[in-house]
């Protein structure tokens, strides 16, 4: 065996610190970019910021339900309230009950409520500076009913509904019996089994079900410590002069300048000059990266306005299939660049603000050779289920067969099931109404 030394050349791509920072910058929202710029001013003595008088554009957002799930809801920005509902309820407790022990008990309960008003006491309770017996807890819950909405302090859904029946509809003993003993059958819509176990007619089951639906399963959903305020869009699209135009909502960002006090040190040899030159390069890199980020976003939105014009006119029902790669090819950039540039960005349209990534959606084939977007398919599915026979709802397999044969959209049972779950629509067994 012969030993020897061999030389071999290899090419490796190493990501520089500047490149990593540029990629990170591309992913920032405008708000995050502002925070980053201000941090750079603190870290780099070369950087000097000049504030602008212009304020960012805000859009008031209301809590709205969306059929597309949380990921496709208009954006809500949340902030901490100065005084939340717990504090208001505690003030009422102090006003109504003068006994110190009662006040402490109710304070303990109030600060162990979750955002829906359910009592969540665990062995590792951070508010457990006081310990109370089970009888105290029961007494406290009933005292809370005099202060807050009926149902507050319940340990589970069954108790929450029973409290509402007990305090508001004490004469409805059948409803109390149904909730107490057969709530699981109601959830599973086992109407015949309920009628059999309670020895009542189906019409009575329907009446009880209709009554239970009037009760509030989350009587304290407003107790959350946060409140909806305003969203700050990154891109604003408007309809002007019979066409869509847009601009980036970054006019309020401070202007980045060089502190001239350090310019004389740039060309002087020495350790101080070396440090200043390094910071000067970082300053130049920051300016270049921000401009590159801005130009990339502008190019992407230009393509989106062209490709998704029907969406900007009519909303999600008109969203066309569009992938990141298609946009990347259009602007001659890498797909990963488009992916990063569209991350954490909010676009404000004439009918609401949405995550920019929602304008990208894959496609489904149709029998005539055309395509439709997944979002459009979800809308068709939602409308189909809304109009189905509620006494005999269709299974996922039957729905898939309908779209394949009647509409000409190639879709599998598994995909129907996936979309239905994303739309938060229960399976057919739990969509069945009572037949009387």
pLDDT greater at residue 294 or residue 187: 294
Residues with Cβ within 8 Å of 340's Cβ and at least 6 positions away in sequence, in order, are 23, 26, 27
Which pLDDT value is given to residue 113? Answer: 86
Question: Please, what are the domains in the chain?
Answer: 15-77+230-361 (no CATH), 85-223 (no CATH), 363-430 (1.10.10.60)
Quick one: which of 296, 352, 349, 347 has its CA closest to 324? 296
- In this predicted structure, the answer to whether residue 385 has a pLDDT above a threshold of 60 is yes
Reduce the DSSP state of residue 59 to 3 states and report it: strand
- What pTM does this model have? 0.58
Whole-angstrom Cα distance, residue 244 to residue 246? 7
**pLDDT > 70 fraction of the chain, expressed in percent and rounded:** 83
Non-local (6+) Cβ contacts of 118 within 8 A are: 153, 154, 155, 156, 160, 220
What's the pLDDT at 228? 45
Q: Which one-letter DSSP state was computed for residue 428? A: G
In this predicted model, what pLDDT tens digit does every residue of 313-339 receive, in sequence order? 888 878 888 999 999 999 999 999 999
Band of pLDDT at residue 72, cut at 50, 70 and 90: very low
Weakest mean pLDDT among 9-18, 64-73, 364-373: 64-73
Q: Is 50 exceeded by the pLDDT of residue 13?
A: no
Pair type for strands 363-365 and 371-373: antiparallel
Taking the CB of residue 28, how many other CB atoms lie within 10 A of it?
20
Interhelix angle 191-198/202-212, nearest 10 degrees:
110
User: Quick one: pLDDT at residue 75?
Assistant: 41
Which candidate, 58, 35, 27, places its Cα nearest to that of 253? 35
CA 325/CA 45 separation, integer angstroms: 41
Cβ(106)–Cβ(93) below 8 Å:
yes
Cα–Cα distance between 82 and 84 in angstroms, integer?
A: 7
**Are 346 and 77 contacting, i.e. CB atoms less than 8 angstroms apart?**
no
pLDDT range class, residue 226, cuts 50, 70, 90: very low
For residues 358 and 72, the answer to whether their CB atoms sit within 8 Å is yes
Say if residues 113 and 84 touch (Cβ distance below 8 Å).
no
Q: Provide mean pLDDT across the span 230-245.
A: 87
Entry field: residues in the chain: 436
Closest CA to 259 of 72, 6, 50, 15: 50
Q: Look at residue 245 and give its three-state secondary structure.
A: strand
Q: Does the structure show a pLDDT above 90 at 283? A: yes
Instruction: Please provide the DSSP assignment of 180-236 as one string.
Output: HHHHHHHHTT-HHHHHHHHT--HHHHHHHHHHHTTS-S-TTGGG-SEEE-EE--SEE
Here the tokens at position 149 are: 């909405």
347 with 353: CB under 8 angstroms? yes
Quote the pLDDT of residue 231: 65
Mean pLDDT for 389-394 is 89
Q: pLDDT band for 18, please (50, 70, 90 cuts).
A: low
Mean pLDDT of 186-200: 92
β-partners of residue 79 are: 227
Quote the pLDDT of residue 234. 95
Q: How far is CA 385 from each of CA 114, 140, 190, 392, 431, rounded to the nearest angstrom?
A: 33, 44, 20, 11, 9
DSSP assignment string, 353-380 = EEEGGGG-B-EEEBTTS-EEEHHHHHHH
Number of Cα atoms under 13 Å in the Cβ half of residue 33: 31
Give the pLDDT of residue 9: 55
Residue 211 has pLDDT above 90, yes or no: yes
Question: Per-residue pLDDT tens for 78-132?
Answer: 334 445 677 888 888 888 888 888 888 888 888 888 888 888 876 555 544 456 7
Does 297 score more than 60 pLDDT?
A: yes
């Amino acid at each position: 065996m012969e030993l020897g030394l061999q030389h071999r050349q290899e090419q490796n791509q190493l990501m520089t610190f500047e490149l990593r920072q540029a990629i990170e910058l591309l992913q920032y929202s405008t708000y995050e970019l502002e925070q980053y710029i201000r941090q750079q001013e603190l870290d780099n003595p070369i950087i000097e910021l000049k504030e602008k008088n212009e304020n960012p554009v805000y859009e008031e957002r209301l809590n709205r339900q969306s059929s597309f799930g949380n990921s496709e809801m208009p954006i809500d920005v949340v902030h901490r309230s100065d005084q939340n509902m717990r504090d208001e309820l505690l003030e009422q407790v102090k006003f109504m009950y003068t006994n110190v022990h009662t006040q402490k008990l109710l304070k303990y309960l109030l600060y162990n409520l979750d955002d829906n008003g359910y009592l969540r006491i665990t062995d590792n309770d951070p508010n457990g500076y006081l310990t109370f017996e089970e009888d105290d807890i029961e007494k406290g819950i009933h005292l809370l009913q005099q202060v807050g909405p009926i149902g507050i302090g319940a340990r589970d859904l069954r108790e929450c509904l029973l409290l509402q029946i007990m305090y508001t509809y004490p004469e409805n003993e059948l409803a109390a019996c149904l909730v107490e003993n057969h709530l699981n059958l109601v959830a599973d819509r086992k109407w015949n089994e309920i009628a059999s176990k309670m020895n009542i007619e189906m019409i009575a089951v329907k009446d009880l079900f209709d009554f239970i639906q009037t009760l509030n399963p989350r009587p304290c959903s407003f107790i959350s410590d946060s409140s909806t305020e305003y969203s700050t869009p990154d891109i604003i699209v408007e309809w002007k002069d019979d066409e869509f135009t847009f601009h980036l909502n970054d006019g309020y960002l401070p202007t980045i300048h060089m502190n001239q006090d350090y310019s004389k040190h740039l060309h002087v040899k020495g350790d101080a000059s070396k440090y200043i030159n390094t910071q000067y390069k970082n300053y130049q890199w920051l300016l270049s990266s921000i401009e590159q980020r801005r130009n990339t976003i502008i190019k992407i939105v230009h393509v989106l306005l062209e490709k998704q014009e029907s969406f900007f006119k009519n909303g999600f029902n008109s969203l066309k299939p569009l992938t990141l790669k298609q946009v990347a090819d259009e602007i001659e950039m890498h797909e990963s660049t488009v992916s990063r540039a569209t991350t954490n960005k909010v676009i404000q349209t004439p009918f609401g603000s949405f995550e920019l990534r929602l304008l990208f959606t894959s496609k489904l084939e149709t029998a005539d050779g055309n395509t439709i977007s997944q979002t459009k398919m979800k809308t068709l599915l939602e409308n189909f289920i809304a109009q189905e026979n509620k006494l005999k709802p269709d299974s996922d397999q039957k729905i898939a067969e309908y779209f394949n044969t009647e509409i000409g959209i190639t879709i599998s049972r598994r995909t129907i099931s996936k979309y239905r779950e994303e739309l938060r629509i229960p399976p057919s067994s739990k969509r069945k109404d009572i037949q009387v």
